[in-house]
Structure 1
C-alpha cells in the first residue's frame, strides 16, 4: 500500500527504536527487525492503492504547515485477532483529526478502507502471537519519557520502494 506518513522528531524516533530493540531482546517480533533505510517510526495518515499527485499535494498543503506538531503518547493497543499488531497510540487534537478525515474523504476512490476511522499510532510489532502479549506488555510497561512531536511528512511508494519527503 502507498501511504502518507508523519515522521517523528529525533528524540521520539529514538524512544520508539528503544522499544523496538527491547522487543527484539525479549525474543519477540519487532518493527526494528526490518533494517531498511525506509523503515522508521511513523504515524500513517493515509494508506491507499495509489496516491495521485493531487492527493499528495492536498496532504502536503493541509498537513505540512502544522509541523512541527507536539502530540502525546497514549497507551498500547492491539489490532487483529490471531496474529496481532502491537502499537503505541498517539493522541492528537480534534483539529488534526478533522484535517486527516478530510483527506480520507478526498481519497475515497483509492483508500485502503475509506470507512475505517483514523487511529493515530506507531507500530511496535507485527505478527505477535496471542501467547506473547503478556511478555510484550511487560517489556513495554512504561510510556517513553519524551513528549513526541510530529516533525515531518513523507510519502511511501511500495512499487518503487521509495520515500519522498513532503514537509518538515
Structure 2
C-alpha cells in the first residue's frame, strides 16, 4: 500500500503484487539457437511456470519437452541467468522472474505445442536480432562466450 499526501487530501493506493517464477533453456544445436514464436507475435526461448514440488531444472526440462518434443539434451553446468520484469493484468501488478539455463541437443526436429505458432533454428547473431525482448537478447549475449567455446561443431 502506498500513501501520498497532498494538501488536505490523503490518497491511498491498494494493489497486490504477485510473483511468478518460470524456467527455460537456451537450446543450441551445433551453432544454431532454438526460438519459439508465441501467438501474440513475440519470439522467445522455450520456458514455462514452475509447478508445485518442481525444482528449476525439472521445470525447464518439462517445458522444453511439452513445447518442442525435445527430450535429449545436455545441460551446460554452472551457467544460469535470471531475468525479472513486471506487468499488469486485471488490476494487479505481476512480477515475473525467469531462470535461464544452457543446453545442447543433436535434435533439429521440433514438435510444436499448441502454445506456439512457429519455431526457428538461427545462428547466434540472427537469434539476438529475432528475439523480441531486450532482457532475453542480453541473456543470449551473456551465453555467447560459452556457446562459441563448446565443441559442438
- The TM-score, its normalising length taken from structure 2, stands at 0.27
Higher relative contact order (CA 8 A, sep 6+): 1
Asked which structure has the greater CA Rg, the reply is: 2
Give the number of the structure whose residues are more often helix, by fraction: 1
Give the number of the structure whose residues are more often strand, by fraction: 2
